[in-house]
Structure 1
Amino acid sequence: MLPDRRDEHPQQSWRQLRRRAFTLVLLELVLVLGGVGLFKSLSCALQAMDHSLQLVHRNGLKVLGLLGMLLSLPY
């Protein structure tokens, strides 16, 4: 016959189990909030990069216009 496996596991009180479950839930909450925070910070950095790129494109057109005006001036 197989040995009784109930004797191999140490007895854990409900208090210990609740504490461990609460700790795991808190850990999962911290991980989720960290992921959300990371996503928001990356999203904000990407928005800033997009805004910067738009400024560069607009300024590039202004520089080309200025060069065109300067080249059209008689020497």
Structure 2
Amino acid sequence: MGRGRQKAKQTKVARDLKYYSPPTDLSALQRELQTSATSNDHHDELADRYADTEPDESSDEDWADEPASGATRRR
């Protein structure tokens, strides 16, 4: 007993949170989206600068022919 008031209060708080929609600052959203476009350009510059241009020393076929160290074959 005595749980009715507590449950009603929790239900009211949950309902208030569910239907609450804070005001949206559209100008701040626009600024954020505009700056993300320039940050993508910066990311591309860094990717180009640090791209791996050296070919791999071993090809993918080399590792497939050699058994792993410590691996044993079953007969």
TM-score bracket for this pair, using the shorter chain length: 0.3 to 0.5
- Greater per-residue helix proportion: 1
Q: What TM-score results when the alignment is normalised by the length of structure 2?
A: 0.38
Q: What TM-score results when the alignment is normalised by the length of structure 1?
A: 0.38
Which has more radius of gyration?
1
